[in-house]
Amino acid sequence: MKLDGLIVCEQCDLLQQEAVLEPGGTAMCGRCGNVLFRSQPRGLELSLVFSLTAAVLFLISNAFPIVTISSQGLTNSTTLLDAADRLVHDGIPSIAALVFATTFLMPALEITALIYLLLPLKLGRLPPGLSLAFRLIYLVKPWAMVEVFMMGLLVTITKLNAFASVAPDIALGSFVLLMISVTAAAANFDPHNFWRRVDELKKIEGSA
């Protein structure tokens, strides 16, 4: 949290003067040592690049099969949404809803919110509903579990190999790249730099 040159530690609530950092520097709380913010001159640009990359990979990951299973002359290719649909037909809609929410809906919302905020900033504009979109990122982030899905999928593939022929498909590789891209986008998204850029654009719009 920032108040006209002052910054509040999110961990211990200590109000302190905002430090001027060299590029790549890190400001830490004088009381508890919590990281207040980092100086990442190109952080928002990198976050936007990774977010756009993640959006493309997300479409690929859900448009193509994850794995192809062959057993006794029968072959079946499965997408993520097919897996959720199968869980519904198997009588466990609660698990299907959890899979859909954590591996499809929440990642989609996180990626969309990042692009919604960062693309207009890159173009020198302020998007409407800026604060709401910012809150949405941190609301859905704990529930976006692509990496957990990947670990579970790899374990399942390993076990299925004992009973059938399991061949990784195009979406499996894109899911791995998606996981890396989303992580990189979040790591480069610094709220401090974001709000500083917002303040700069507000001043420009106010003086226009």
Residue ranges of domains in the chain, CATH in brackets:
1-39 (no CATH), 42-207 (1.20.140)
Sign of the Cα torsion 95, 145, 150, 46 reads: positive
User: How sure is the predictor about 2, in pLDDT bands with cuts at 50, 70 and 90?
Assistant: very low
What's the burial of 131, exposed, middle or buried (CB within 10 Å: 0-12/13-18/19+)? exposed
User: If we measure between CA atoms, which residue out of 114, 95, 99 comes closest to residue 54?
Assistant: 114
Q: Mean pLDDT over residues 78-95, rounded?
A: 85
Indicate whether this model's pTM tops 0.85.
no
Give tens-digit pLDDT for 6-25: 787 878 888 877 777 777 77
Sign of the Cα torsion 163, 167, 171, 175 reads: positive
